[in-house]
A and B are shown apart, each in its own frame.
Chain A
């Protein structure tokens, strides 16, 4: 059934994506995972590698505003799309409401899961500005924290929601 004429193939590709508002280009291997593209090619090490098996959510980034696990996406497959990493959360005015919430409510202990938590929280609040506690816990159920027991993470998101309501 198989008749493959291709003995040597093309295993790299030129990739252009928008990361935190800036266009970034690089020649990458097709097999390069998005998380390694961000961390190693672009040097954006705020995105963490936790389990590397699509379980923990530490590597969560926003792809066109939607949270995805960047350890389970090939970089070449996001050509032309927009990515937000933790480095892109703070604006000219300082920390984003979600970042401020994690700071004020102490929504972390070791901090390893925090970038992923904050990106998942940012996406939640963009879709649902006034989530219930259950909705927050549900939205963050793909992100694992081994320190906090989640109490203060929930409070951090509630803080951010209140802050955003105040500002609007």
Chain B
């Protein structure tokens, strides 16, 4: 089960990596953690002419809080997020997603940005980062552009990125101390993809909801934002009725298909239940953040 032959480059800088990508165009492929790409290449679903390995580039492996954002560099592993104190509390949607990705050994190598750029509709980071309102920094031959995660994810394994662009980081705006979030995932066993995943992220302002982000995993052609549920929550008092209605709207936003992981109806129910649970948990964290002030 070998991959097809490929050329291999391990550039020492982003600039060098960009010039390699320009040289190979859509026949070049970036390697970060490799936990999705290597299996695809072994199956020859992907046969790039050249691999451009980012792992020798310094400065891409940090989680930083700066200029009102949390920044996760292109070489930050799932493992780093799992162990990061920064990804608790207000960034709980990210911190709770991390340990639910695949299994602990895969998490040692796999990266957040790589997973996002892979755009598997069953990927967990897409939902967590959609809910958190994240965006990526994409560096290309003509400079850097910012792409919201919502615009980045276009469909199954399809993103808005050009083959000559490199995502150097994903960034999440600081929601302030009165914020919380969580990620709930139903999986058949460790290492499996989600049957259903729900990401919830919300901030409170004077007892009502400021911004709410809700995103769904494995119930559509890409990670889906439950916009109507988000809109129902914005500005509302987070009482039982609001939570129930938002959860119902999230379930309606899901586009599940029946498969060996469960029927469409079942998955829709899980979305509803997880959204309700997630909202209660996120609200609790947000209120605790409020009390600390």
Residues of B within 8 A of A118 (CB): none
Query: A83-97, CB under 8 A of B: which get 1 and which 0?
Result: 000000000000000
State whether A120 touches B23 (Cβ < 8 A). Answer: no
Nearest Cβ on chain A to B32's Cβ, whole angstroms: 10
Instruction: State which size class the interface on A falls in.
Output: 35 or more
Nearest Cβ on chain B to A141's Cβ, whole angstroms: 4
Nearest Cβ on chain B to A66's Cβ, whole angstroms: 5
Residues of A within 8 A of B2 (CB): 31, 33
Contact residues, A117-146 vs B (CB, 8 A): 120, 138-139, 141-143
State whether B34 touches A1 (Cβ < 8 A). Answer: no
Is B59's beta carbon under 8 Å from chain A?
A: no
Nearest Cβ on chain B to A27's Cβ, whole angstroms: 13
Q: Which stretch from B98-106, B205-213, B263-271 is at the chain A interface?
A: B98-106
Query: A130-165, CB under 8 A of B: which get 1 and which 0?
Result: 000000001101110000000000000000000000
With A1-B25, A4-B27, A74-B38 as given contacts, are A52 and B1 in contact (CB-CB < 8 Å)? yes
State whether B105 touches A142 (Cβ < 8 A). Answer: yes
State whether B34 touches A73 (Cβ < 8 A). Answer: yes
State A30–B104 Cα separation when bound (angstroms). Answer: 26
State whether A2 touches B105 (Cβ < 8 A). Answer: no
State whether B106 touches A69 (Cβ < 8 A). Answer: yes
Q: Which stretch from A6-14, A18-26, A104-112 is at the chain B interface?
A: A6-14
Is A55's beta carbon under 8 Å from chain B?
A: yes
State whether A141 touches B3 (Cβ < 8 A). Answer: no
Residues of A within 8 A of B10 (CB): 76-77, 79
State whether A72 touches B34 (Cβ < 8 A). Answer: yes
Residues of A within 8 A of B108 (CB): 66-68
Query: A42-62, CB under 8 A of B: which get 1 and which 0?
Result: 000000000011110100100
State whether A138 touches B104 (Cβ < 8 A). Answer: yes
Is B145's beta carbon under 8 Å from chain A?
A: no
With A57-B103, A142-B103, A142-B106 as given contacts, are A76 and B26 in contact (CB-CB < 8 Å)? no
State whether B8 touches A74 (Cβ < 8 A). Answer: yes
Is B237's beta carbon under 8 Å from chain A?
A: no
Nearest Cβ on chain A to B234's Cβ, whole angstroms: 37
Closest to B35 in A: A72
Is A82's beta carbon under 8 Å from chain B?
A: no
Residues of B within 8 A of A141 (CB): 103-104, 190-191
Is B51's beta carbon under 8 Å from chain A?
A: yes
Partner of B8, one of A2, A30, A66, A120: A30
Chain B residues in the interface with A (C-beta under 8 A)? 1-8, 10, 23-27, 31, 34-35, 38-39, 41-42, 49-51, 53, 55, 79, 102-106, 108-109, 163, 190-191
Ranked nearest first, the 3 interchain pairs of A and B with the lowest CB-CB distance are A142-B103, A2-B25, A142-B105
Chain A residues in the interface with B (C-beta under 8 A)? 1-6, 9-11, 13, 29-31, 33, 52-55, 57, 60, 66-69, 72-74, 76-77, 79, 120, 138-139, 141-143
A6-B7, A31-B5, A77-B34 known; 6 other A-B pairs, CB under 8 Å? Answer: A4-B23, A6-B50, A9-B5, A33-B38, A69-B105, A73-B109
Can you give 7 contacting A-B residue pairs, CB < 8 Å?
A2-B26, A9-B7, A54-B39, A67-B108, A68-B109, A72-B39, A141-B104
